[in-house]
Chain A
Amino acid sequence: MAELRELKEKLFLITSLSLAALAILPIFHILLSIFYNGLPVLISAGVDFLVDSPPPPGGGLGGIGPSLVGTFMLAFISSLVGIPLSFASALFSVEFPDNVISRGVRVLSKALLQIPSILVGMLVYTIMVVPMGKFSMLAGSLALAIMMIPYVTTYVEEALENVPKTYREAGYALGLSRTKVVFKISVSIAKRGILTGVLMGFAKVTGETAPLLFTVGKQRQMISLDPLGYTDSISLLIFDFIQTPYANWHRVAWGSALVLTSIFLLIFLATRSLTRRVVL
């Protein structure tokens, strides 16, 4: 009998291990092929890859400077709009849970989490690009902010809700006002969770493609910081370049993929090192 039990246990272990391996295999495949194809591009193009303009079809590697800067500018401006709004709506919905508006915030932020991003692009095209008569960094940032808000709101809501009630009670028992309890206690205790949400939101929008398709104008020839001017993002550049027949553009796309992945990993690692230190 004992043998049968051991056999069963081994069988179970092997099955779950192989299923787990199957599940993470694609991730490793993606990471490995990005490094395998992207690293030689970065090595042969050097640091210029991060500042130069893309090459003409068929000639050299150039760089992705305008798209890289565009990516950061878009993420930055959308964060400027999106993060304060997300923070405020999360705080409101946690602090006044029975209010009709905060119930609305909760339902909407969960529903919008899964909104198809192309729809957001179309929305901004209709409400901003058409009236202004042109694509712009600002339009792209608005689209990204709309993508970001439900995401960050949900994160911040959860971080605030995870603060045990007993700390708030202790704060009130000390005679602290509601504002002080909220900011000096709840927000302060949840600050790492909140920061995680903010960073994840930032990471999410650096990788978005569809909301930018018809909002930013795909200007990748020169670095521009003008919010009303055209711009580009790394994800858009990859999307366009891999669809062409030019071998050098394919290589630029691989190099860009590696740059984008590295940005992602860096933000992810920063988040991890922050969250590990949460001690209640």
Chain B
Amino acid sequence: MRRVALSINDLTVKIGGKEILKRINIEIPERRILAVMGPSGSGKSTLLRAINRLLDLVPGCEVSGRVRIYDTEVYSSDPYKVRRLTGMVFQVPNPFPNMSIYDNVAVGPKMNGLVKDKRELDDLVRWALERAMLWDEVKDRLKDPPNKLSGGQQQRLCLARALALRPKLLLLDEPTANVDPINASKIEEALRGLVESHDITVVFVTHTPYQAVRISDYVAFLYMGELIEFGLTQEIALNPKHELTMRFLKGEA
């Protein structure tokens, strides 16, 4: 029996008095991939940021409802602790330009005191880079600045940076929107590998229905801040209940 990795109950988010998300309910078991889909402005990114409390940084933001990551009640815990449980990858690759490739991956575990010594850190950095399918490309130039890498490699570096915290839950905001197809498929492969052989659950936002169908187990479809469809990917892809979902899956919305 799989445990529930993420459960969201009646989550409502208001920014400046405007409702961005309306009573969202989602529950996914561990080691599964959830794809969040929906047109621009439907609240996908806000949903991700509500899960790891990055929304706390947005002025005038009110959150009600519950979010749980395993046993952690997100909104009654320390936000810094919640963020250490989750890893996040952003839409535009954003490796820290002031740090080397190695330090980009090492910074999270180092600053959060997750490792005892240099050796352990080295192993962790290597592990994260391997999981992000980047190790072979950068192992000889770990001291280089990240701007020497291509955009797709930078995005995989960001994935490695997030993985180095050994998160239970990985959040990705359109991780392949700004990378080429080869890099995109490497990222997809990395995500599949993570849920299959490691104790990680993935939530990712995507614009492309094909990608959702290809790699996700569950799909959530958002429209104007409402969750209009949620369930197993196979079922929704074959038999969408809602007309908007159907149009979106066909690439019309």
Measuring CB to CB, which residues of chain A are less than 8 angstroms from any residue of chain B? 98, 164, 166-177, 180, 184-185, 188-189, 191, 279-280
For residue A253, give the distance in angstroms from its CB to the closest CB of chain B: 45
Residues of chain A contacted by B80 (CB below 8 angstroms): 175-177
Chain A interface: which of B67-75, B81-89, B180-188? B81-89
Whether A173 pairs with B92 at a CB distance below 8 angstroms is no
How far, in whole Å, are A194 and B60 apart by their CA atoms in the complex? 30
> Is the beta-carbon distance between B81 and A175 smaller than 8 angstroms?
yes
| Option from B81, B98, B112 in Cβ contact (under 8 Å) with A189 | B98
Min CB distance A173 to B, Å, is 4
Contacts of B97 in A (CB 8 A): 167, 189, 279-280
What does DSSP make chain A's interface, helix, strand, loop or mixed? helix
Which of B59, B147, B161 has a CB less than 8 Å from the CB of A174? B161
Expressed in whole angstroms, the minimum distance between the Cβ of A64 and any Cβ of chain B is 41
Q: Report whether A173 and B96 are in contact in the complex, using a CB–CB cutoff of 8 Å.
A: no
Contact sample, A vs B, 26 pairs, CB 8 Å cutoff: A166-B92, A167-B96, A167-B97, A169-B54, A169-B94, A170-B161, A171-B96, A172-B57, A173-B52, A173-B86, A173-B162, A174-B84, A174-B107, A174-B112, A174-B161, A175-B81, A175-B112, A175-B165, A176-B108, A176-B111, A177-B80, A184-B107, A185-B96, A185-B98, A188-B98, A191-B98
Which 9 residue pairs across A and B have the least CB separation, nearest first?
A: A175-B84, A173-B88, A175-B83, A174-B108, A166-B94, A188-B98, A189-B98, A175-B80, A280-B97
A167-B94, A167-B96, A280-B97 given as contacts; is B83 within 8 A of A172 (CB)? yes
B98 lies within 8 A of A174 (CB): no
Residues of A close to B112: CB separation below 8 A: 174-176
* Chain A residue contacts of B88, Cβ below 8 A: 170, 173
B179 close to chain A: CB less than 8 A: no
Report the minimum CB–CB distance from A103 to chain B (whole Å): 14
Q: Which residues of A contact B87 (CB under 8 A)?
A: 173
Q: Would you call B236 an interface residue if the criterion is a C-beta within 8 Å of the partner chain's C-beta atoms?
A: no
Residues of chain A within 8 A of B86, CB atoms compared: 173
Q: A164 to chain B: which residues have CB within 8 Å? A: 94
Cβ of B29 within 8 Å of any chain A Cβ, yes or no, is no
Residue interface bits B95-113, CB-to-A below 8 A is 1, else 0: 0111000000001100110
Residue-wise interface mask of B (130-156) relative to A, using a CB-CB cutoff of 8 A (1 in contact, 0 not): 000000000000000101000000000
Report yes or no: A169 in contact with B96, Cβ–Cβ below 8 A. Answer: no
Binary contact track B107-130/A, C-beta < 8 Å → 1, others 0 = 110011000000000000000000
Give min CB distance, B104 to chain A, whole Å.
9
B158 within 8 A of A: yes
B248 at interface, CB cutoff 8 A: no
Asked if residues A98 and B107 are in contact (CB atoms below 8 Å), the reply is no
